[in-house]
């Protein structure tokens, strides 16, 4: 994975996740640090590949399923 300072079209940062409008900053940080979430840490910053995020997101269920709502 090639990560350069600046924008990478294949990765989401916490700021990018917040920009999607699905949840706020605190929730995005909790999700990035949660077990089972496909994030990677590069230095002090967490990222998630876009495809991996959407696969994870679409696998979450509502009402008693395997949710990461912490």
CA–CA distances in Å: residue 66 to residues 2, 10, 36, 40 = 32, 26, 11, 21
pTM of the model: 0.74
- Looking at residue 7, its pLDDT comes to 65
Q: How confident is the model at residue 8 (pLDDT cuts 50, 70, 90)?
A: confident
Residue 46 has pLDDT above 70, yes or no: yes
Is the sign of the CA dihedral 25, 39, 20, 3 positive or negative? positive
């Amino acid at each position: 994975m090639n990560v350069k300072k600046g924008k990478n079209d294949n990765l989401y940062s916490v700021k990018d996740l917040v920009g999607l409008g699905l949840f706020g900053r605190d929730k995005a940080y909790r999700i990035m640090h949660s077990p089972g979430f496909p994030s990677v840490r590069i230095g002090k910053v967490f990222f998630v590949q876009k495809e991996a995020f959407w696969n994870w997101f679409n696998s979450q269920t509502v009402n008693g399923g395997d949710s990461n709502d912490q």
